[in-house]
Structures are given as structure tokens and as C-alpha cells.
Amino acid sequence: MAWIELAAADIQEKISSDEYEAITEASLPDGVTGPEIVTAEIGRTVAMVRGYVAANPQNLLGSGETIPEELSDAALCILRHKVFTRIPGMKRLLDEGRVREYDDALRQLKDVAAGRFRLVAAATPAEDQAGGGTVQVIAPSRTGRESRATLNGGGLL
């Protein structure tokens, strides 16, 4: 599977046309529109998915703002949840089934981070990967057991 970018129109896979219309027509008191909320939440959701992917050192992130295609369904469930909780009046649309899908999506991301859900490697890995630098372990030059005498300067204490 490929690594993909999420677009605003992708949310239509998880909501009805009436719900999508309500989102696109929404306007909050501070002047933020529904489409702006969707765009902002796409960025946050992609960052969240990439964070879970990067949590497992066996995974390499794909280039750009992409996510593994096998996580697109989970990402869309999370995106729907985030959008519905941000737009007034839409939270009521999060029925028991949708909340369960959201919980399942988070569980799947945790499985990715723990290595219980394997991903197809990105065809084009990102130049900068998440995580810290590498650690080099240096073996001691001599072998043997340390004693109280050798650890405190030859037993002078």
C-alpha cells in the first residue's frame, strides 16, 4: 500500500452528504468556517497518525504530510470525531457506533506504535525521521568483575 495525503473531501467517506453540507456551511462566532476547521483538523490528525507511526523505531515515515494508506480509515474516523466535536451542534451526531469506531482507531494507532500492526514501508521515506539520535554502545576493554575495592579507588576508603 502507498502513503497518501488526506484531503478535505476524504471526510465524505465517513459522513452523509447532509452532514458534509452542514460542515461546509458552518460558521463559528469567531469567523472560523467549517472548511477551515476541517483543514486544521486534517493537519492535526495527520500529525497524530505520523506520531504513532514514528513511535515504533521499525517504521519509517513517508515523505511530506502523508500517512500509510492502511491507516486511512482510522485517520478518517479520528478526523470525523474531531470535526464533530469542534462544530457546535454536530457533537450529537457522534452516536455509540461512531464513538466505538473512534476508540478502535486509537487502539489501532497504539498497536502500530507497539509493533502489533505492521505497516508497508513508504516508497519515498522522509528525509527527516522522528525520534532522537542514535546511541553507540561501547564495550569495556577489559572483562572481569568489579569489586568493592576496585570501585572505591583500591580500598583506601
pLDDT in tens, 45-90: 999 999 999 999 999 999 999 999 999 999 999 999 999 999 988 9
pLDDT value of position 133: 46
Is the CB of residue 122 less than 8 Å from the CB of residue 63? yes
Residue ranges covered by each domain of the chain: 3-151
- Tell me the pTM: 0.79
Instruction: Give every CB contact of residue 3 below 8 A, 6+ residues apart in sequence.
Output: 62, 63, 66, 67, 68, 69, 122, 123, 124
Residue linked to cell 466535536: 85
pLDDT at 125 over 90: no
Give the DSSP H or E segment for 62.
Answer: none
pLDDT at 139 over 80: no
pLDDT at 24 over 80: yes
The 10s digit of each residue's pLDDT in 25-53 is 988 888 899 999 999 999 999 999 999 99
Rounded to whole angstroms, how far apart are CA atoms 148 and 154? 8
